[in-house]
Every structure is written in C-alpha cells, then in structure tokens.
C-alpha cells in the first residue's frame, strides 16, 4: 500500500525533533452542499530541527516513532 503524502502549515515547532502540521481540506456539506473547511493536526518527525512555524511542508506516513508521531517531514516549500 502506498504511503500517504499531505501538505500543510507548521503551527508549532516547540518539541524536540517534532513539529505540528495543520492540514486543511474542503468538503461539501452532506445535506446543504455548501463547501466547508475541515482541519486536523498531525505530529511529524523533523530530524534536523530545521522547520519553523509558518513553513509549508509535505509530510509522509511512516512507522510509529512515538505515541503521537506516525508522520515524517519530507520537504519544506517555504
């Protein structure tokens, strides 16, 4: 099964080798059809501590690294 890759914004880089990435997606409301935003936060592993808050990053699914971290940072776009 291929690994999922998501793109989002870093909202926190306070943890050691850990960043919190906010992923937003747009979905249609099931009854009214209006487009609404849904968001979720993922904890991702940043080996070099190079990513800062506000950066746009791509994260990839990986084997569990800790209780919350099952994603790792692939690349920074900004």
**In which band, very low, low, confident or very high, does the pLDDT at 63 lie, cut at 50, 70 and 90?**
very high
Q: How far is CA 48 from the centre of its chain?
A: 17
User: Which CATH architecture best describes the domain 5-76?
Assistant: Beta Barrel (2.40)
Bin 50: left if φ > 0, else alpha if -120 < ψ < 50, else beta.
Answer: alpha
Q: What would the 3-class secondary structure string for the chain be?
A: CCCCEEEEEEEECCCCCEEEEEEEEEEECCCCCCEEEEEEEEEEECCCCCCCCCCEEEEEECCCCCCCCCEEEEEECC
Q: Indicate whether this model's pTM tops 0.85.
A: yes
Does the pLDDT value for residue 3 go beyond 80?
Answer: yes
């Amino acid at each position: 099964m291929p690994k999922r890759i998501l793109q989002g914004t870093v909202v926190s880089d306070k943890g050691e080798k850990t960043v919190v990435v906010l992923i937003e997606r747009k979905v249609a409301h099931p009854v009214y059809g209006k487009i609404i935003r849904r968001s979720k936060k993922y904890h991702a592993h940043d080996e070099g501590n190079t990513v800062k808050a506000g950066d746009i990053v791509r994260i990839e699914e990986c084997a569990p690294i800790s209780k919350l971290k099952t994603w790792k940072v692939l690349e920074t776009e900004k």
